[in-house]
Chain A
Amino acid sequence: GDSVTQMEGPVTLSEEAFLTINCTYTATGYPSLFWYVQYPGEGLQLLLKATKADDKGSNKGFEATYRKETTSFHLEKGSVQVSDSAVYFCALHGGSTLGRLYFGRGTQLTVWP
């Protein structure tokens, strides 16, 4: 079945450091891939998405490229800020009419000034 494997955290970085959060997936079809961000006590917000192979999703300095050959969708940011501290979830939609998302475990990111 469809699933997402996400690197475990927590990840602690200094401001302006480079961020990578790894995400790999398993899917029977051609999934769409997403990164969501959750700030403390809040729901999830869509950060970026990619719907087909080689697409690059980007938003707020974050980027992720849909790599079919490695079944990956790693999240990167060149220079993190304190305000980026949150939990990040990788997710996929397998393309079925059921429409559910499959989430990774989430990675807690803490950025220190």
Chain B
Amino acid sequence: GAVVSQHPSRVICKSGTSVKIECRSLDFQATTMFWYRQFPKQSLMLMATSNEGSKATYEQGVEKDKFLINHASLTLSTLTVTSAHPEDSSFYICSAKERQGGRTNYGYTFGSGTRLTVV
């Protein structure tokens, strides 16, 4: 089945530095990538939606300059947390929407998540 490889799985960084999280779709084309943030014991909060080759659409309250999303190809999307602070510590998950036969179906494939800790 479809697989999304998300790296790194865990990262610890110092306050003020930037961290890049990658999501790669294996064996399929991800026309749309969703980036979520999950706080402990809470649901997934959609941060932004990106389509290949175009700018990401951010949800209300999400700082686009802080959470940079790039979706340069149909198999790779990246989330960069810039100038990270301890409050950015969280679990980040990507989800790729698969396109089949020219008509988008409901094939969502999730990455395994990245645990970010900012110290």
- A residues at B contact (CB < 8 Å): 32, 34, 36, 41-46, 49, 51, 89, 93, 97-101, 103-106, 108
Contact = CB atoms under 8 A, between A and B. Distances in A.
Interface of B: 6, 32, 34, 41-44, 46, 49, 93, 95, 97, 104, 106, 108, 110-113, 115
A36 B34 CA distance: 16
Q: Is the interface of B mostly helix, strand, loop or mixed?
A: strand
A89 B108 CA distance: 14
A103 to B, nearest CB: 5
A98 B49 contact: yes
A36 to B, nearest CB: 8
A52 B105 CA distance: 14
B93 A108 contact: no
Given A43-B6, A44-B93, A99 B44 contact: no
17 contacts: A41-B115, A42-B112, A43-B6, A43-B111, A44-B93, A44-B110, A45-B110, A89-B43, A93-B106, A97-B104, A98-B49, A101-B34, A101-B95, A101-B108, A103-B43, A105-B42, A105-B43
Contacts of A97: 104
